[in-house]
């Protein structure tokens, strides 16, 4: 092959490689199954659809809750307020789904609306706990705990835990609050990077599925936490460390208090951990430490039975592992399909 022709072909290849690098995020998002509406910007293509999975899930959830409130209105105090709130939530979901491609501000509001809905639906379900079942089902949990452990794990820990360990447990439980905003925030901020295309959307979708499983269990199998069953917010101790103070402050002033089995808090943490393992592997091992402390701290403080934590962990690990692996494999496959070897001369 003449030298001049070889140089021309080599230059064409390099120019094409640069174009691939510039457009890789857009192509990966399209190959990964993200929305490709012509009217949306690239940012919208990466994370918006006319109605994505999380939108549809919470649309159905609010419709079902509205029907439940109307059917059982005789057993639900202030039931019109729930209907109004659910209709407002439905309107917000539809509006933001349609507007998310208009600007980054609308996209941010749309993508982070589920963080609000995770909390508000959890709280609403807690008020509707006995709308279907007339009694708490704690006796089943207590029988299970007695069979598995012989003694109450919470009582055993209060009898044997050292004061220095208690503060570590409170640190672990406090770590729940910033966990999803930080990890999810990184995924959202890096959504245009090729290696993170689709990660935030798949994480949010997986969390929505996990929460629906928890909501359905709360309504069909309502249980109280050990602390609520005792008529208090938290089974306290004489220890007075800073993290215990912070946890109590959040729980007393801004905490949401719902059913115990399964633990949706633990479900969320393990879903986030599974995605961190795939997309932020160096950070995953550091996240595991406070998450394990959180699991033990939730039992120690009386927020959950040990079986609540185990069930919540399984609900988080199984779909989280499947969804995170699928999202990561799609991204890896898309990256590989974009990088072509240079032609042989």
pLDDT over 90 at 310, yes or no: yes
Rounded-to-integer distance, Cα 218 and Cα 223, Å: 7
CA distance 138 to 128: 17
Residue 52: what pLDDT? 92
| CB distance 259 to 140 below 8 Å | no
> pLDDT digit string (tens) for 56-65?
999 999 999 9
Residue range 203-241, pLDDT digits in tens: 999 999 999 999 999 999 999 988 878 766 666 665 667
- pLDDT of 251 > 80? The answer is no
Query: Regarding predicted confidence, which is higher, 234 or 145?
Result: 145
Residue 69: the pLDDT is 93
Longest pairwise C-alpha distance within the chain:
88
Tokens matching residue 280: 């932020």
85 vs 244, higher pLDDT:
85
Is residue 278 a contact partner of residue 325, using CB atoms and an 8 Å limit?
Answer: yes
Give Cα separations from 85 to 34, 82, 128, 192, 264 (angstroms).
Answer: 30, 5, 14, 34, 22
Q: What pLDDT, on a 0 to 100 scale, did the predictor assign at position 316?
A: 96
Q: Which residue from 310, 305, 292 is spatially nearest to 179, judged by alpha carbons?
A: 292
* Residue-level pLDDT at 19: 45
C-alpha separations of 117 from 61, 217, 301, 319 in Å: 10, 18, 26, 20
Domain boundaries, the chain: 3-338
Predicted pLDDT at 272 = 96
What's the pLDDT score for residue 336? 60
pLDDT of residue 256: 58
Average pLDDT over residues 240-245: 72
Higher pLDDT, 344 or 303: 303
């Amino acid at each position: 092959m003449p030298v001049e022709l070889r140089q021309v072909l080599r230059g064409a290849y390099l120019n094409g490689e640069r174009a691939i690098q510039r457009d890789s995020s857009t192509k990966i998002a399209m190959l990964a199954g993200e929305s490709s509406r012509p009217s949306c910007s690239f940012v919208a293509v990466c994370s918006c659809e006319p109605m994505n999975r999380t939108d549809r899930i919470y649309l159905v959830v609010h419709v079902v809750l509205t029907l439940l409130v109307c059917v059982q209105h005789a057993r639900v105090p202030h039931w019109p307020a729930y209907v109004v709130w659910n209709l407002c939530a439905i309107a917000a979901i539809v509006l933001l789904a349609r507007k998310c491609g208009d600007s980054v501000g609308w996209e941010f509001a749309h993508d982070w609306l589920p963080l609000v809905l995770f909390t508000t639906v959890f709280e609403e379900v807690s008020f509707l706990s006995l709308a279907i079942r007339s009694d708490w089902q704690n006796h089943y949990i207590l029988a299970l705990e007695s069979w598995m452990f012989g003694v109450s794990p919470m009582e055993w820990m209060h009898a044997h835990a050292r004061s220095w360990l208690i503060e570590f447990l409170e640190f672990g439980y406090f770590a729940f609050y910033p966990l999803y905003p930080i990890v999810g925030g990184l995924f959202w901020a890096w959504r245009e990077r090729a290696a993170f295309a689709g990660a935030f959307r798949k994480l949010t979708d997986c969390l929505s599925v996990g929460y629906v499983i928890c909501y359905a269990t709360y309504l069909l199998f309502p249980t109280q936490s050990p602390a609520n069953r005792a008529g208090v917010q938290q089974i306290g101790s004489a220890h007075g460390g800073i993290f215990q103070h912070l946890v109590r402050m959040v729980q007393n002033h801004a905490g949401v208090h719902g059913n115990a089995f399964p633990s949706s808090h633990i479900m969320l943490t393990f879903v986030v951990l599974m995605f961190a393992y795939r997309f932020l592997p160096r950070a995953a091992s550091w996240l595991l430490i406070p998450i394990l402390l959180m699991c033990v701290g939730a039992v120690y403080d009386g927020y959950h039975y040990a079986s609540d934590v185990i069930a919540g962990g399984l609900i988080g690990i199984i779909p989280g592992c499947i969804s995170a692996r699928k999202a990561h494999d799609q991204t890896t496959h898309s990256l590989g399909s974009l990088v072509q070897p240079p032609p042989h001369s």
